[in-house]
A and B are shown apart, each in its own frame.
Chain A
Amino acid sequence: MRAETTFKPDLSSQEEIARRLKMRARIRAYLASFTKHFTLIVVGLIFVLPMYWMVSSALKPNAEMFVIPPKWIPSQLLWDRFPKAFEYIPFLLFAGNTTYITIYNVVATLVSCTLVAYGFGVLQWRGRDVFFYLLIATMILPYQVTLIPQYIIFSRLHWINSFKPLNVPAWFGTPFLIFLLRQFFMTIPVDLIDAAKIDGASHPRILWNIFLPLSLPALATMSIFTFMWNWNDFLGPLIYLSDPNKMTLTLGLYNYIGPGWDRTEWGMLLAASTMIAIPPVVLFFFAQRYFIEGISVTGIKS
């Protein structure tokens, strides 16, 4: 007790200093977090505003589209632009073609990549690694080198102006997705395979009953990537499709850009652009985890 009283003044000043330091640290932390959020929000606005501008312009009356200063909030919202765009552009036809190509390719890609990834990631056999290096090498090959001979092959098969050049290659797997699934397969314990073998299970059975149920997250990521690539693809349809009845959304929309700024129905095109973006954006919001996982694997496993 006595010792405490003698030291008390000293202690209180130390407490005082400690309290001030704590206060200062807290203020600094608040300031730091405020600056961080402020920066993140400002940068976030740069990412979001263009999208807002597209949607709001799609709903604006034509008279407000070319005014100065720009109208951020339209005086009235023309919701009927969307149904009108359906008629102006054969939207449903293009959307049907795009959906067909996309779904077909998702299914074909899943089937082919699963088989190949099993051969590379699970089976042990001589020569496997050589083929695997070959697969990796094809991932960095610029597509231009194969583009022209592929076009010539497909034109000899009379596949131009059909969906075949866009669909058939999916049955042969996508190197990047094979790689992704192989990495995933390799994390599945060997014991499971051995146990199944002792029970007399064949390889297709092991793949179907053990590997596929365990790989659902990877399969989801693969489906999403394939969906995005095909839904957004422009070059493939541009090269292979010229019949207006067979066009996809991206190519079809491109064909509706008029020969000048003033001769283009911008309201319709912006409404259609908004509608094209809806499926990928919705998919992204619901399956964000798989997007981020797939993208992250890309960088880390390099």
Chain B
Amino acid sequence: MTEAGRSVLHPKHISARRREWNKTLLGLAFISPWLLGFLWLILYPLFASLYYGFTEYAILTPPKWVGAENFITMFTKDKLFWTSVGNTLYYVAISVPLSTVFSIALALLLNAKVRGMSIYRTVYYFPTVVPVIASVMLWAWILNPQAGPLNYLLGLLGIQGPGWLSDPHWSKPALIILGLWGLGGATVIYLAGLQDVPTHLYEAAELDGASGIQKILFVTIPLLTPVILFNVIMGLIGGFQYFSQAFLGSAIGAGGQGTGIGAPMNSLLFYNLYLYRNAFGYFQMGYASAMAWVLLVFVLLLTLLIFKLTGRFVYYAR
């Protein structure tokens, strides 16, 4: 900035060091709302939950140190823990690739110069603004095994529709469909990425005789890789934090509230639901904190691994 200009303006008797310190104080003053919040709502809780993870803690009595017992129970004895891990991995492994492929395809469609593009974009984005409770309720209604329109349509094709949310084998696919309904958000991000692809690259490819599909495969997709990477990582992180849809889906689909979190037959018991059940259902704050830390370490390792593995495939133009 104007360091030189300012030192001329300022009286010489104020030392440079003092001025530097004043600037730092001013900066800290401006960021203090965030900094204070960081200290008492992020940093302290981060270490507190690590500590709770090694204790037995039911809130009313002080935490009791139990060493690594929570972790040992989790990994070796608690079958439901592994059920929740399995459910979560199932969901993430199917919904992230599916939504990536579909939202890129949609973005490519929208990016082609068609008339009324903004109307289509509005329509596709629209489901993402509908509150979760409303979207789960409407999908539970559509997927209703007896009276829902989807199973009726399947019936017309001669297919006996499954029980969806009330069937342990079909409850996760039901939620995946529900999730795909909201892929408009990712589509808009891809669309913005597509509009950043310089047109001269397409022209060059055309001169070399590239077909439409070749242009997509060899120009568009490579230039889109940073956006894809971002969306995949956000999708993974979001997938491991999956909660509200599953919570409401299991309550509504399995025949109403009170049938237990993760119903039917724990098929919707995702990691986060199990964590919630331990913390606020059984008040096992120690065990739930241990689960939270296992998740944190896992997500960090996974993110690092993805960056390592994809480093060669991601193309950064800038």
Q: Which residues of A contact B (CB under 8 A)?
A: 33, 36-37, 39-40, 43-44, 46-48, 50-51, 53-54, 57, 65-70, 72, 112, 115-116, 118-120, 123-128, 131, 134-135, 138, 140-153, 155, 169, 171-173, 175, 178, 190, 194, 203, 228, 231-232, 234-235, 238-239, 249-250, 253-255, 257-261, 263-264, 266, 269-270, 273-274, 276-277, 280-281, 283-285, 288, 291-292, 295-296, 298-300, 302
Contacts and interface: CB of A to CB of B under 8 A. Distances in A.
Given A67-B147, A152-B59, A302-B226, A128 B27 contact: yes
A253 B134 CA distance: 9
Nearest 4 CB-CB pairings of A with B: A172-B37, A119-B30, A299-B189, A149-B45
Contact of A148 (B20, B23, B288): B288
Interface string B280-309: 100001001101110110010001000000
B259 to A, nearest CB: 8
Contacts of A232: 131-132
A295 B188 contact: yes
Contacts of A276: 131, 133-134
Contacts of B20: 126
Nearest to B275: A144
B149 A142 contact: no
A140 B30 contact: no
B45 A118 contact: no
Contacts of B170: none
B279 interface: yes
B256 A146 contact: no
Given A47-B181, A116-B31, A238-B247, 18 more contacts: A36-B112, A47-B123, A47-B184, A48-B123, A53-B138, A66-B147, A68-B147, A72-B149, A125-B27, A131-B31, A234-B247, A249-B131, A255-B257, A257-B252, A259-B257, A273-B137, A280-B131, A299-B227
Contact of B257 (A69, A120, A257, A281): A257
Given A33-B114, A53-B138, A258-B257, A149 B1 contact: no
Contacts, number: 283
Interface of B: 1-2, 20, 23-24, 26-38, 40-42, 44-46, 48-49, 52, 59, 106, 109-110, 112, 114, 120-127, 129-134, 137-139, 141-142, 144, 146-149, 152, 181, 184-185, 188-193, 196, 226-227, 230-231, 237, 240-241, 243-244, 247-248, 251-252, 255-259, 272, 275, 279-280, 285, 288-289, 291-293, 295-296, 299, 303
B55 to A, nearest CB: 12
User: What DSSP secondary structure best describes chain B's contact surface?
Assistant: helix
B49 A149 contact: yes
B44 A149 contact: yes
